[in-house]
């Protein structure tokens, strides 16, 4: 039997990873926490608007059942219903816990939690801390983990990157192989179970709202080791982003939750300043097309509407792919109290004050609904490898509702932690073997090949090409021909990768070398996303094909499962039935009450 | 078929056509620093990070020598993760929000690592001292457990509005960089840590550790080292009320010291 103190490795220190760590440490397990960046700097920090829970503190009769229904409906019935039901039922207690941890949630005059509205629901269900809710939640969990760290229950390995899982002869996980990002050394760490909580894969699309570390590299490495990757084709394009040189910055849905209105001038190239354009000459297209939900339709619906206005009606502002998101009708004090964090971002990075001037926004890659396939206990098909948070596929189906991501991260971590511990305690001890040593050798050989490669291809340029083709063909609107071209392009990039040239071959804090390793994994995962999209000849949630405009439950009410075929060096696909035992699928439309 | 989702920014180009980026480089903690210069075409919306991304894709100096991509810390690029603090034209600030056309002086932008943290490589520094300081002042609410114990304490909107700004600290360490008292001689903990002590001292549950936090801030390296230069509050990218936090905690530390005299 395994030792009394089961050893768990958690990879990733965002909300999901930290949630898992807290549960394991509290239950007496020993945890090693690995993260590329200091965990307090993880991407969860970027989440802005809030976290959903049907606390029903506004006298609206909200229930966890309604939250469950909104989430399933919003995800176009692709999510397995059992885990989503569990998440929605657990949400109110999770909010209470975060409240006890000291998260500075906005309050009502009576001192209770305040709630705002978000997309895809008619209830005030979103608790929030200004417009920096993700930051506040991450800090609260980070503080609890720091407390466990100071008590010796958690060991942090910050500045280490996961390279692969160590699998024994029976294919059971026995630890991880990781690289120290300072001295670039590769080491094996033993564990009875591991939890991957490594976030989304925005970097595959070049520019996105994701942080620099969100490459999907860890998930891809595991997929190449035999883990299933599920629903890879479901990528959320957020309707309101600020285009930038280095990334797309998110303008939170809370801007619309607090009354922000999306519009364009009815006339192309209207020369007037936006504020002096009279109501009659403005087109509030979301409010016109979706009178019930208005500006708060789900993200996929809003994104396609903006796309249509810009490219079919050709009414983008000044002929550019941009529309207005307008808050100027709301008084400054209210805006400052509820949205200051995001308004500041716009001000800093664009230079205009959104309290005075309507913001110019456009859709951008935002969230990875798909991810590592996990069972209802958060375990992948590799025994001992668990996953939680954006890195796995469980909770959002074909489209994620706003403010459900923070919830799914924490709930997923809270499930994965105890389940991993239970698994570890039931594990028979590892046979004495050299599996760790041989995995370490395999990784060192990869490093050696890269560092000695003397080709001509710059990894950052290859990445740019990948991002451009993925953004063009695999986001809002998808055609099979373009998808086939994209896959072909990625194959070409993989071929050129063999001819890579690392201008920096040093062995100290070599960030471009680490990036190049990630790039390879991005390319492999890019094929999973692209081919998955090609196979799914229907439109569902965020996945939209004009040639197949309807949802096709008969053929595609199924989870896409990709597995890596090492000899062919490409993905193979199977389809798995979706758990729909609680809510029978019905057509999803937001132009009327559901 | 028009499916671009990342439009290029086409606002009117600034007067400058190119910008010179000068970067202080250092191969390792012990290596001698040296300067490298790069000429880049200036694009609207370009910031210090996108300039370095540009260099990574084409690592050639202004005098045509091949070099290596720059090592720097960065993650969110939205000024909320706190990673990319560095000195830009002499001023400590976040690189992601440093728009080149705003920070350039005569067409030049000089990038240097923070001067008070150990350099790892180039612009990347080791700021773990802050996280150690946060342990020292027990910057957390001591929960009984993560199981369901009902809702938290009621908190008035006014209390929330006091706490929230302090809770937005991004741990960038710029307040420590600009503080004349933050150095090896004093061992001063710095403003960020003191602000977090205040945040948790004022939380209805967190205040149970108030005495321990105040003791941690007494003596050498503690709050008394503050010289009230006020550099911190002026440099903080998130505009935390740092000097107010320091004076409030300072008062509490003094009261605690008096209490200690009578209870020991």
Tell me if residue A197 falls in helix, strand or coil.
coil
> In Å, how far are A141, A215, A298, A566 from A86, measured between CA atoms?
21, 29, 22, 36
Q: How far apart are the first and last CA of chain A?
A: 53
**Catalytically active residues of A, by annotation:** 299
Contact B75 A43 (CB under 8 A): yes
Residue range A111-132: mean pLDDT, rounded: 94
What is the per-residue pLDDT for A341? 83
Beta-strand runs (E) in A168-281: 173-180, 186-190, 193-196, 229-230, 235-242, 249-250, 261-265
**Min distance A109 CA to chain B CA atoms (Å):** 6
SS3 for chain B, per residue?
Answer: CCCCCCCCCCCCCCCCCEEEEEEEECCCCCCCCEEEEEEEECCCCCEHHHHHHHHHHCCECCCCCECCCCCCCCCCCCCCCCCCEEEECCEEEECCCCEHHHHCECCEEEEECCCCCCEEECCEECCHHHHHHHHHCCCCCCCCCCCCCCCCCCCCHHHHHHHHHHHCCCCCCHHHHCCCCCCCCCCCCCHHHHHHHHHHHCCCCHHHHHHHHHHHCCCCCCHHHCCCCCHHHHHCCCCCCHHHHHHHHHHHHHHHHHHHHHHC
Instruction: Specify the CATH class of B18-125 in words.
Output: alpha beta
Asked whether A16 and A388 are in contact (CB, 8 A), the reply is yes
CB proximity A260 to B under 8 Å: no
Nearest neighbour of B43 by CB, restricted to A37, A104, A245: A245
CA distance B81 to B61: 30
Torsion angle, CA of B206/B207/B212/B215, rounded to 10 degrees?
130
C-alpha gyration radius of chain A: 23
> In Å, how far are A326, A328, A329, A330 from A333, measured between CA atoms?
16, 12, 12, 9
Beta-strand runs (E) in A148-215: 154-158, 160-167, 173-180, 186-190, 193-196
Q: Do strands A186-190 and A359-368 pair parallel, antiparallel, or not at all (unpaired)? A: unpaired
CATH number of the domain located at residue range(s) A244-364 in this protein: 3.90.700.10
Ranges of each domain in chain B: 18-125, 128-143+155-263
CA distance B89 to B108: 8
Residues of B in contact with A212 (CB under 8 A): 74-77
The pair of three-digit structure tokens given for residue A340, joined into one six-digit string: 């200051």
CA distance A554 to A142: 45
Q: Which helix or strand (DSSP H or E) is residue A401 part of?
A: none
Q: Give the nearest chain A residue to B200 (CA atoms).
A: A102
Is A144's pLDDT higher than 90?
Answer: yes
Beta-bridge partners for A561: A230, A574
Pick the residue of B80, B120, B125, B196 with the most A CBs within 10 A to test the interface with A by mutation.
B80
Nearest neighbour of B76 by CB, restricted to A22, A113, A211: A211
Q: What is the pLDDT of residues A330-368, one digit of tens each?
A: 999 999 988 988 898 899 998 889 999 999 999 999 999
CATH number of the domain located at residue range(s) B128-143+155-263 in this protein: 1.10.1060.10
> In Å, how far are A34, A425, A460, A497, B48 from A3, measured between CA atoms?
22, 8, 45, 44, 50
The pair of three-digit structure tokens given for residue B204, joined into one six-digit string: 């209805």
Nearest neighbour of B5 by CB, restricted to A345, A365, A482: A365
Lowest mean pLDDT: which of A500-504, A576-580, B6-10?
Answer: B6-10
> In Å, how far are A274, A282, B10, B13, B227 from A271, measured between CA atoms?
9, 13, 17, 20, 55
Q: What is the pLDDT of residues A432-461, one digit of tens each?
A: 678 999 999 999 999 999 999 889 999 999
Residues of B in contact with A149 (CB under 8 A): 135
What is the per-residue pLDDT for A327? 97
Contact B5 A475 (CB under 8 A): yes
Nearest neighbour of A102 by CB, restricted to B72, B128, B141: B141
Q: Do strands A229-230 and A193-196 pair parallel, antiparallel, or not at all (unpaired)? A: unpaired
**Min distance B240 CA to chain A CA atoms (Å):** 13
Contact A479 B1 (CB under 8 A): yes
Contact B74 A212 (CB under 8 A): yes
CA distance B90 to B83: 18
Q: Which of A164, A92, A37 is nearest to A446 (CA)?
A: A164
Contact B68 A504 (CB under 8 A): yes
Residues of B in contact with A107 (CB under 8 A): 155-157, 159-160
Pick the residue of A109, A348, A486 with the most B CBs within 10 A to test the interface with B by mutation.
A348
Residues of B in contact with A347 (CB under 8 A): none
Is A5's pLDDT higher than 60?
Answer: yes
Residues of B in contact with A477 (CB under 8 A): 1, 3
Tell me if residue A212 falls in helix, strand or coil.
coil
CA distance A563 to A572: 5
Asked whether A396 and A541 are in contact (CB, 8 A), the reply is no
Q: Which residue has the tokens 């370009």?
A: B46
- B 16-55: CB under 8 A from A: 27-28, 43, 45-47, 49-50, 53
Q: Give the nearest chain A residue to B49 (CA atoms).
A: A246
**Min distance B185 CA to chain A CA atoms (Å):** 26
Nearest neighbour of B3 by CB, restricted to A213, A365, A472: A472
Residue range A78-98: mean pLDDT, rounded: 98
A194-217 exposure pattern, b = at least 16 Cβ within 10 A, e = fewer:
bbbbbbbbbbbbbbbbbbbbbbbb
Count of Cβ atoms closer than 10 Å to residue B30 Cβ: 7
- B 187-246: CB under 8 A from A: 200, 203, 205-206
What is the per-residue pLDDT for A591? 84
Q: Give the nearest chain B residue to A146 (CA atoms).
A: B135
CA distance A10 to A175: 10
Count of Cβ atoms closer than 10 Å to residue A314 Cβ: 10
The parts of chain B modelled with pLDDT lower than 50 are: 1-14
Q: What is the pLDDT of residues A517-564, one digit of tens each?
A: 999 999 999 999 999 999 999 999 999 999 999 999 999 999 999 999
CA distance B153 to A171: 48
Residues of B in contact with A215 (CB under 8 A): none
What is the per-residue pLDDT for A433? 74
CA distance B74 to B92: 15
CA distance A131 to B83: 20
> In Å, how far are A262, A318, B182, B210 from A116, measured between CA atoms?
18, 33, 42, 33
Tell me how many degrees the CA angle B245-B250-B253 measures, rounded to the nearest 5.
125
**Min distance B64 CA to chain A CA atoms (Å):** 14
SS3 for A240-255, per residue?
Answer: EEECCCCCCEECCCHH
Residue range A325-332: mean pLDDT, rounded: 96
More confident residue, A365 or A431: A365
CA distance A418 to A48: 28
Number of H helices, E strands in chain A: 15, 21
- A 481-510: CB under 8 A from B: 482, 503-504, 506, 508-510
What is the pTM for the complete model shown?
0.95
Contact A461 B152 (CB under 8 A): no
CA distance A142 to B144: 16
Q: What is the pLDDT of residues A367-412, one digit of tens each?
A: 999 999 999 999 999 999 999 999 999 999 999 999 999 999 999 9
Residue A186 phi/psi, 5-degree rounding, is: -110, 135
CA distance A261 to A277: 14
Ranges of each domain in chain A: 244-364
CB pairs under 8 A between A and B: 231
Residues of A in contact with B171 (CB under 8 A): 38, 40-41
Contact B28 A509 (CB under 8 A): yes
Nearest neighbour of A244 by CB, restricted to B45, B124, B145: B45
What is the per-residue pLDDT for A594? 62
A43 pLDDT band, cuts 50/70/90, is very high
C-alpha gyration radius of chain B: 22
Pick the residue of A39, A150, A183, A244 with the most B CBs within 10 A to test the interface with B by mutation.
A244
Burial of residue A584 (number of CB atoms within 10 Å: 0-12, 13-18, 19+): exposed
CB proximity A107 to B under 8 Å: yes
The sign of the dihedral angle between the CA atoms of B177, B179, B180, B181 is negative
Give the rounded percent of residues in chain A with a pLDDT score beyond 70. Answer: 98
What is the per-residue pLDDT for A82? 98
Contact A246 B5 (CB under 8 A): no
Pick the residue of A12, A102, A345 with the most B CBs within 10 A to test the interface with B by mutation.
A102
What is the per-residue pLDDT for B13? 44
- A 422-461: CB under 8 A from B: 458, 460-461
Distance from CA of residue A585 to its chain's centroid?
25
Residue ranges of alpha helices (H) inside A215-357 are 217-224, 254-257, 285-289, 299-311, 332-350
């Amino acid at each position: 039997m395994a030792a009394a103190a089961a050893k768990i490795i958690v990879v990733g220190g965002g909300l999901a990873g930290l949630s898992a760590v807290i549960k394991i440490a509290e239950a007496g397990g020993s945890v090693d926490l690995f993260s590329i960046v200091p965990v307090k700097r993880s991407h969860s920090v970027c989440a802005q608007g809030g976290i959903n829970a049907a606390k029903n503190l506004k006298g609206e009769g909200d229930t966890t059942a309604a939250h469950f229904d909104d989430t399933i409906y919003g995800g176009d019935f692709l999510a397995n219903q059992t885990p989503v039901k569990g998440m929605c039922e657990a949400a109110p207690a999770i909010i209470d816990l975060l409240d006890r941890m000291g998260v500075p949630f906005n309050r009502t005059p009576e001192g209770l939690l305040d709630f705002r509205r978000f997309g895809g629901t008619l209830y005030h269900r979103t608790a929030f801390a200004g417009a920096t809710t993700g930051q506040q939640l991450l800090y609260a969990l980070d503080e609890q983990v720091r407390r466990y760290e100071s008590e010796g229950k958690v060991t942090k390995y910050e500045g280490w990157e996961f390279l692969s899982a160590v699998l024994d002869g029976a294919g059971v996980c026995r630890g991880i192989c990781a690289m120290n990002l300072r001295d670039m050394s590769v080491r094996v760490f033993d564990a009875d179970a591991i939890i991957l909580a490594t976030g989304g894969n925005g970097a595959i699309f070049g520019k996105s709202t994701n942080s620099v570390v969100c490459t999907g590299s860890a998930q891809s490495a595991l997929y190449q080791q035999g883990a299933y990757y599920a629903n890879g084709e479901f990528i959320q394009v957020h309707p309101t982003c600020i285009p930038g040189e280095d990334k797309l910055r998110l303008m939170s849905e809370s801007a619309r939750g607090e009354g922000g209105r999306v519009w364009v001038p009815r006339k192309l190239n209207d020369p007037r300043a936006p504020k002096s354009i009279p109501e009659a000459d403005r087109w509030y297209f979301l409010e016109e097309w979706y009178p019930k939900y208005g500006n708060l339709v789900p993200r996929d619906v809003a994104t396609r509407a903006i796309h249509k206005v810009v490219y079919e009606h050709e009414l983008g502002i000044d002929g550019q792919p941009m529309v207005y998101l307008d808050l100027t009708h709301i008084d400054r004090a209210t805006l400052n109290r509820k949205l200051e964090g995001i308004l500041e971002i716009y001000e800093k990075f664009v230079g205009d004050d959104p309290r005075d001037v309507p913001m110019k926004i456009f859709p951008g890659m935002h969230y990875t609904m798909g991810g590592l396939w996990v069972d209802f206990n958060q375990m992948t098909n590799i025994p001992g490898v668990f996953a939680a948070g954006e890195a796995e596929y469980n909770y959002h189906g074909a489209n994620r509702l706003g403010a459900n991501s923070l919830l799914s991260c924490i709930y997923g971590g809270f499930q994965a932690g105890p389940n991993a511990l239970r698994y570890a305690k039931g594990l028979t001890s590892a046979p004495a073997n050299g599996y760790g040593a041989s995995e370490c050798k395999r990784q060192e050989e990869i490093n050696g090949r890269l560092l000695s490669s003397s080709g001509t291809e710059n990894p950052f340029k290859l990445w740019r090409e990948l991002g451009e083709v993925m953004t063009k063909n695999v986001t809002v609107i998808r055609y099979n021909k373009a998808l086939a071209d994209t896959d072909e392009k990625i194959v070409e990039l993989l071929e050129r990768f063999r001819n890579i040239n690392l201008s920096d071959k040093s062995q100290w804090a070599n960030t471009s070398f680490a990036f190049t390793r990630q790039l390879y994994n991005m390319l492999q995962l890019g094929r999973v996303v692209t081919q998955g999209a090609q196979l799914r000849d229907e439109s569902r949630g965020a996945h939209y094909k004009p040639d197949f405009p309807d949802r096709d439950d008969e053929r595609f009410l199924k989870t896409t499962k990709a597995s890596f075929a090492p000899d062919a060096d490409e993905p193979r696909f199977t389809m798995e039935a979706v758990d729909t035992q609680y809510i029978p699928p019905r057509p999803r439309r937001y132009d009327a009450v559901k | 078929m028009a499916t671009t989702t990342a439009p290029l920014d086409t606002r009117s180009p600034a007067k400058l056509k190119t910008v010179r980026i000068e970067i202080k480089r250092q191969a390792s903690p012990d290596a001698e620093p040296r300067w490298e210069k790069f000429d880049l075409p200036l694009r609207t919306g370009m910031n210090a990070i996108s300039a370095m991304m540009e260099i990574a894709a084409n690592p050639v100096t202004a005098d045509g020598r091949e070099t290596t991509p720059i090592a720097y810390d960065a993650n969110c690029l939205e000024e909320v993760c706190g990673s990319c603090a560095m000195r830009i034209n002499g001023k400590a600030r976040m690189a992601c929000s440093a728009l080149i056309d705003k920070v350039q002086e005569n067409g030049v932008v000089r990038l240097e690592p923070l001067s008070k943290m150990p350099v790892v490589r180039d612009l990347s520094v080791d700021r773990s001292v802050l996280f150690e300081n946060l342990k020292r002042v027990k910057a957390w609410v001591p929960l009984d457990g993560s199981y369901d114990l009902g809702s938290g304490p009621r908190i008035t909107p006014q209390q929330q509005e006091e706490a929230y700004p302090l809770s937005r600290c991004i741990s960038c360490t710029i307040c420590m960089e600009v503080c004349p008292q933050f150095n090896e001689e004093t061992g001063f903990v710095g403003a960020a840590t003191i602000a977090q002590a205040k945040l948790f001292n004022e939380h209805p549950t967190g205040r149970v550790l108030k005495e321990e936090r105040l003791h941690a801030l007494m003596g050498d390296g503690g709050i008394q080292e503050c010289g009230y230069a006020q550099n911190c509050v002026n440099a903080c990218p998130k505009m935390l009320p740092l000097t107010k936090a320091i004076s409030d905690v300072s008062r509490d530390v003094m009261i605690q010291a008096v209490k200690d005299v009578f209870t020991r």
